[in-house]
Amino acid sequence: MVQLAHSLKVTHGRQLRTVGTVVETIIHHPTDSGLLADSVRVVGRLARRAKAVVDKNVKAEAPDERFRDRSRSAKRLTKQIDQLARRLRSDTARDAHQEAYGKLLKIVHTTMKQAERLVEVLAGAPTRNKRKAPAQELGVESVCLPQRGVKTEERKTHEKQRWFKRG
């Protein structure tokens, strides 16, 4: 709307005032079991994204090793824990609640072990920047290929050097 007004030369568009309405709503506070299930879900998603690299390296090193996504099990147990938490007055419900929580903690522990193994496998994986090594093999002294994505402070200072900027 501001762009339209600016293009029609109605306004310069330096300031914009808006009016908003605040509506009261119920806040959903996170539970411990919900946060644990979220962590299992996120680790499973990251493992799925790294599957191409992991499958090649793992099959060569340990063919029986598999990376499993346990987010469905964690979600089911979280729902069960939430239902049991509503009726903790009886001893059987309390025991079932503790048992379900124990299963969820076991799933989280197994998933975290899986994440540690995943990090080890990815640490030995080839780097994404495959253009630098062939250039060095051809005798190029200063390879000026900027790195994409998140850069470390060391990489930022490397790319700020005059010879790097000039290419």
The tally of domains found in the chain comes to 1
Let me know if residue 37 belongs to a domain. yes
Helix (H, G, I), strand (E, B) or coil at 104: helix
Query: For residues 33 and 78, is the Cβ–Cβ distance under 8 A?
Result: yes
In a domain, 87, yes or no: yes
The tens place of each residue's pLDDT in the chain, 167 residues long, gives 667 777 777 777 677 777 888 888 888 888 999 999 999 999 988 888 877 666 665 666 555 566 788 999 999 999 999 988 888 788 888 899 999 999 999 999 999 988 888 777 776 655 555 566 666 677 777 777 777 778 888 888 888 888 887 76
The domain containing residue 104 runs over which residues? 32-123
Asked if residue 90 belongs to a domain, the reply is yes
Q: Does the reported pTM lie above 0.85?
A: no
Residue 104 lies in a domain: yes
Burial status of residue 76 (CB atoms within 10 A of its CB: 0-12, 13-18, 19 or more) = middle
